[in-house]
């Protein structure tokens, strides 16, 4: 499947005010706010989403998954596995297919979302339903879903917030361009994110 983020998160998992406390800066010291904000964003990007090292999303964001068609899942049913999570199965997951020159909605009553593990979920048929016939084109199916721990920064686990602070602090404290190595080798960060890092199976 191809994953495209259609709506980014509304906020970062860590506020600029908290980051300034981490750096022991006064709240009214604002002359470097834009630079500090960029360090926070870089630290989050290092962990978050499809391209982050966690392989998961932090604050809620909307993604579109494109597929050629339903596949046979481990449960034995035909459907779609959403591997970029945590999938918010309590929110709307929409499925569309290509027909008559545009994407058509699949009746939400014909499918359901089953949470399998923290990092993924499956979209499967409801009992007695069947998938409609899509035209044989590339990316004939699209699934829109929300992934993240929650809409608020507080929903992101504390160890991940701490890891972001440490990564951003590395960037702030070493502006010589040597920090990239510490982003990879920081053992404290590694320990903090280890329980949340997606493991390939």
Rounded to the nearest angstrom, the gap between the alpha carbon of residue 21 and the centroid of all alpha carbons in its chain is 27
Q: For the chain, what percent of residues have pLDDT higher than 90?
A: 75
Confidence of residue 201 (pLDDT cuts 50, 70, 90): very low
- Radius of gyration of the chain from its Cα atoms, rounded to whole angstroms: 20
Q: What are phi and psi of 187, to 5 degrees?
A: -65, -30
Residue 2 banded pLDDT, cuts 50, 70, 90: very high
> Considering only the top CATH level, what class is 2-57+153-196?
mainly alpha
| pLDDT higher than 90, residue 104 | yes
pLDDT tens, residue by residue, 128-182: 999 999 999 999 999 999 999 999 999 999 999 999 999 999 888 877 665 455 5
Domain residue ranges of the chain, discontinuous segments joined by +: 2-57+153-196, 61-147
The predicted-structure confidence for 25-55, as pLDDT tens digits, reads as follows: 887 777 789 999 999 999 999 999 999 999 9
- Strands, sheet with 94-99, edge to edge from the N-terminal-most edge strand: 2-7, 61-67, 141-147, 94-99, 102-105
pLDDT at 96 over 60: yes
Report pTM: 0.88
Q: How far apart are CA 72 and CA 94, in angstroms?
A: 19
Q: Angle at which helices 33-47 and 158-173 pack, to 10 degrees?
A: 130
CA dist 192 to 40, 67, 148, 183, Å?
17, 34, 18, 13
């Amino acid at each position: 499947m191809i994953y495209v983020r259609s709506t980014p998160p509304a906020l970062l998992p860590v506020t600029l005010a908290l980051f300034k406390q981490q750096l022991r800066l006064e709240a009214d010291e604002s002359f470097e706010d834009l630079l500090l904000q960029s360090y926070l964003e870089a630290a989050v990007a290092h962990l978050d989403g499809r391209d982050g090292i966690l392989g998961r999303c932090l604050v809620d964001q909307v993604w579109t998954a494109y597929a050629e068609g339903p596949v046979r899942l481990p449960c034995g049913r035909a459907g779609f596995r959403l591997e970029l999570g945590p999938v918010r199965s309590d929110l709307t997951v929409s499925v569309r297919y290509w027909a008559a020159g545009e994407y058509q909605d699949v009746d939400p009553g014909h499918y359901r979302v089953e949470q399998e593990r923290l990092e993924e979920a499956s979209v499967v048929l409801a009992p007695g339903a069947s998938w409609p016939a899509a035209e044989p084109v590339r990316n004939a199916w699209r699934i829109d879903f929300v992934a993240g721990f929650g809409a608020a920064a507080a929903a992101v686990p504390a160890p991940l917030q701490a890891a972001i602070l440490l990564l951003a602090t590395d960037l702030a404290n070493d502006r010589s361009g040597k920090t990239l190595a510490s982003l990879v080798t920081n053992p404290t960060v590694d320990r903090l994110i280890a329980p949340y890092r997606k493991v390939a199976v």
